[in-house]
């Protein structure tokens, strides 16, 4: 797998759900000879959507990977989810790839997750290509979609291909680089031919606009162009690739995954003009001393990479998917996990092919590989040579939006819930697991209802644990509204030493957010110094249990100013009980009220 980096292309298909990413991936694999049929999402037989939860919803819920060959180049394809519930996978995949192919539905146009994917690509410095899909559909419109893209996206989109025909009559594209037409037959194949006469004038006009846009990638070139000099094809191709890599513009291509029109030309374009691993901006991080550093795709540098996805399997263990940043890695070795500060041994290096993996002898910069059964390494971890340590910056998960209380459906599964969910979180860092100390509930949080439901389905399938989802109990707070003074007295006489503690407290409300304040105003030793912390502890513990509905009481001040003790029967426990009794008695008289939580 460590062939010349010039022959390697990494790209991720990204878009809003329903734009046709997975269908496009299926056609790519078929045209490359990987499959002998084109899978359909509707039929549940695609190579890239293979998890039962994906087949049920007819939508990608997890990034899928496939390495294949096209025009003597190795292509690493990532089919990333478009549903906002699973967009953490998309975010992490974009950090690991070299190019984003942004798929836009020519009927419905640009939707919110398409914009989000573009924003992530911009954040990671990833060049973008635009593929306007579904041009064979009724109400599809290339010009409208392109205009929308120009209004929304930066760097600016530029047209590289024009569609021939529209809707049901869409049959091919005009390539503005070669100025050739590609008209497809029913088998989805095409050969270069002359541009149709009725489109010649439009093609010439768009070609001029294309050349002007491309020339902007090179100061010398734009000067020559403005002086009226005719640019050579080599000038144009060189400037086109440079403009893509440096994110000066984003080329726009046309096609249909349904009919196959333009898909082979898209792969040709990726091979001819897409970035290599060496073209990618450097990966930033910190060295062993904590200083900022960068790593580029150098095969002769020490090995370094990062795990950007983990697949949890109860039988096979973890499958850890890694982007190699620098150096080379052979099979059966050891690497250093910087995040966990430990060495970890691995056996095979695996290439990814949908749900399958294939062992390879070694991997180099730009390769996307997998390791099986790693015990320590999880998503976000940097792995590297022990002799030259680096820790790469890794994107934060998208904040969660919804939470449910998780309850075992069967009593026998109660002890397995937390451990099984913890393993599931290794696969999906977008989930969050908490145990609420007040309500005693296990809370599972995620990006949306579908995200949580899918997680519980995986929990049943992978770990044989069935759960119910309940609305979480609201952790109300209690407080007081007026000032009171009370006595807390605990006296108990049994055989031998008795128990005696006596305290007087003033309880008064504090402004919201001030918490708890305890003032020791004892004088004259009426309560010995060693017993005063016990009084405070009793008050705190009683406040945590509340007096109205069992919720934590907040925002109050207690002043301990009097009391008495017994030389033999007094103890820390006796004064702790006295403090607890005093607070409960005072709170009941101090106008207790419930406070509702404010969600921020």
CB atoms within 10 A of CB 541: 13
Q: Name which residue leads in pLDDT, 232 or 33.
A: 33
> Which range is least confidently modeled, 188-192, 415-419, 510-514, 535-539?
415-419
Pairing of strands 156-159, 283-287: unpaired
> Which range is least confidently modeled, 68-82, 107-121, 259-273, 310-324?
310-324
Mean pLDDT for 348-361 is 93
Mean pLDDT for 274-282 is 95
> Does the pLDDT at position 283 exceed 80?
yes
> Does the pLDDT at position 598 exceed 80?
no
> Which range is least confidently modeled, 91-95, 151-155, 411-415?
411-415
Q: What's the length of the chain?
A: 600
Alpha-carbon span 462 to 50, nearest angstrom: 15
Mean pLDDT for 272-287 is 96
Alpha-carbon span 338 to 377, nearest angstrom: 10
- Partners of 342 in the β-ladder: 337
Structural contact between residues 564 and 491, judged by C-beta atoms closer than 8 angstroms: no
pLDDT band at 349 (very low <50, low <70, confident <90, very high): very high
How do residues 298-316 score in pLDDT, each as one tens digit?
999 999 999 999 988 766 6
The pLDDT of residue 182 is: 98
pTM: 0.84
Q: What are the residue ranges of helices labelled H in 393-464?
A: 414-427, 449-463
> Does the pLDDT at position 2 exceed 60?
no
pLDDT band at 188 (very low <50, low <70, confident <90, very high): confident
| Residue that the structure tokens 């070694």 belong to | 362
> Does the pLDDT at position 179 exceed 80?
yes
Phi-psi region of 450 (alpha: psi -120 to 50; beta: other; left: phi over 0): alpha
How do residues 500-532 score in pLDDT, each as one tens digit?
999 999 999 999 989 999 999 999 999 999 999
pLDDT band at 135 (very low <50, low <70, confident <90, very high): very high
Highest mean pLDDT of the ranges 25-39, 265-279, 483-497: 265-279
> Does the pLDDT at position 438 exceed 80?
no
> Which range is least confidently modeled, 487-501, 513-527, 579-593?
487-501
Pairing of strands 8-14, 73-79: parallel
The pLDDT of residue 91 is: 97
Alpha-carbon span 375 to 343, nearest angstrom: 11
Cα–Cα distances in angstroms (integers) from residue 502 to residues 265, 372, 483, 532, in the given order? 88, 65, 20, 11
The pLDDT of residue 550 is: 85
Nearest to 374 by CA among 308, 422, 431, 321: 321
The pLDDT of residue 317 is: 73
Alpha-carbon span 15 to 199, nearest angstrom: 30
What are the b/e assignments for 290-320, b being 16+ CB within 10 Å? Answer: eeebebebbbebbbbbbbbbbbbeeeeebbb
How do residues 190-232 score in pLDDT, each as one tens digit?
989 999 999 999 999 999 999 999 998 888 888 888 888 888 8
> Does the pLDDT at position 414 exceed 80?
no
Q: Which residues contact 79 (CB under 8 A, 6 or more apart)?
A: 12, 13, 21, 22, 25, 48, 49, 60, 63, 64, 65, 66
> Does the pLDDT at position 576 exceed 60?
yes
How do residues 464-481 score in pLDDT, each as one tens digit?
889 999 999 888 899 999
Write down all domains in the chain, each with its CATH number in brackets: 5-207+240-279 (3.40.50.300), 296-392 (2.40.30.10), 402-470 (3.30.70.870), 477-595 (3.30.230.10)
> Does the pLDDT at position 129 exceed 70?
yes
> Which range is least confidently modeled, 54-58, 409-413, 467-471, 476-480?
409-413
Mean pLDDT for 88-101 is 97
The pLDDT of residue 32 is: 96
* pLDDT averaged over every residue in the chain: 93
The pLDDT of residue 52 is: 76
Q: Name which residue leads in pLDDT, 313 or 8.
A: 8
Phi-psi region of 188 (alpha: psi -120 to 50; beta: other; left: phi over 0): left
pLDDT-above-90 percentage for the chain: 78
Nearest to 94 by CA among 394, 372, 365: 394
Mean pLDDT for 275-292 is 94
> Does the pLDDT at position 495 exceed 70?
no
Mean pLDDT for 481-486 is 97
Cα–Cα distances in angstroms (integers) from residue 362 to residues 301, 328, 435, in the given order? 15, 7, 43
């Amino acid at each position: 797998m460590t062939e010349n980096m010039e022959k390697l292309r990494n790209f991720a298909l990204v878009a809003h759900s329903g734009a046709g990413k997975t269908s496009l991936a299926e056609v790519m694999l078929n045209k490359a000879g990987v499959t002998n049929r084109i899978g359909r999402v509707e039929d549940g037989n695609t190579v890239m959507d293979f998890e039962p939860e994906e087949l049920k919803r007819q939508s990608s819920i997890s990034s899928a990977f496939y390495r294949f060959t096209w025009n003597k180049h190795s292509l690493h394809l990532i089919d990333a989810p478009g549903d906002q519930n699973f967009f953490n996978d998309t975010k992490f995949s974009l950090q690991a790839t070299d190019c984003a192919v942004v798929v836009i539905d020519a009927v419905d146009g640009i939707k919110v997750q398409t914009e989000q994917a573009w924003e992530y690509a911009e954040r990671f410095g990833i060049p973008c290509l635009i593929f306007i899909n579904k041009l064979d559909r009724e109400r599809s419109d290339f010009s409208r979609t392109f205009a929308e893209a120009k209004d929304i996206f930066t760097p600016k989109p530029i047209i590289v291909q024009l569609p021939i025909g529209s809707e049901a009559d869409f049959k091919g594209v005009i390539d503005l680089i070669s100025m050739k037409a590609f008209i497809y037959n029913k088998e989805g194949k095409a050969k270069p031919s002359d541009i149709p006469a009725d489109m010649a004038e439009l093609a010439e006009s768009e070609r001029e606009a294309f050349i002007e846009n491309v020339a902007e990638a090179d100061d010398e070139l734009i000067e020559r162009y403005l002086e009226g000099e005719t640019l050579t094809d080599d000038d144009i191709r060189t400037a086109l690739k440079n403009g893509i890599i440096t994110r000066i513009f984003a080329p726009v291509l046309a096609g249909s995954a349904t009919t196959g029109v333009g898909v082979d030309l898209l792969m040709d374009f990726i091979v001819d003009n897409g970035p290599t691993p060496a073209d990618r901006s450097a990966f930033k991080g910190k060295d062993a001393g904590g200083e900022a550093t960068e790593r580029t795709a150098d095969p002769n540098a020490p090995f370094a990479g990062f795990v950007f996805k983990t697949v949890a399997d109860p039988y096979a263990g973890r499958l850890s998917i890694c982007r190699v940043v620098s150096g080379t890695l052979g099979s059966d070795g050891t690497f250093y996990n910087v995040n966990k500060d430990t060495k970890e041994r691995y056996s095979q290096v695996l290439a990814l092919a949908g749900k399958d993996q294939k062992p390879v002898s070694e991997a180099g910069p730009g390769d996307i590989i997998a390791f099986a059964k790693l015990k320590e390494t999880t998503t976000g971890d940097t792995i590297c040579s022990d002799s030259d340590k680096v820790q790469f910056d890794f994107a934060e998960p998208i904040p969660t939006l919804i939470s449910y209380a998780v309850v075992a459906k069967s009593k026998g599964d109660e002890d397995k819930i937390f451990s099984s969910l913890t393993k599931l979180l290794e696969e999906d860092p977008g989930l969050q697991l908490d145990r609420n100390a007040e309500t005693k509930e296990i809370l599972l949080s995620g990006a949306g209802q579908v995200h949580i439901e899918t997680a519980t389905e995986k929990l049943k399938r992978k770990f044989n644990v069935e759960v119910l989802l309940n609305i979480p109990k609201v952790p109300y707070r209690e407080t007081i509204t007026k000032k009171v003074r009370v006595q807390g007295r605990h006296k108990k006489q049994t055989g031998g030493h008795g128990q005696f503690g006596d305290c007087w407290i003033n309880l008064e409300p504090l402004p919201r957010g001030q918490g708890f304040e305890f003032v020791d105003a004892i004088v004259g030793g009426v309560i010995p110094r060693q017993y005063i912390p016990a009084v405070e502890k009793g008050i705190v513990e009683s406040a945590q249990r509340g007096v109205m509905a069992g919720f934590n009481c907040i925002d109050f001040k207690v002043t301990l100013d009097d009391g008495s003790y017994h030389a033999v029967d007094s103890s820390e426990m006796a004064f702790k009980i006295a403090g607890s009794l005093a607070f409960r008695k005072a709170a009941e008289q101090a106008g207790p009220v419930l406070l509702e939580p404010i969600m921020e």
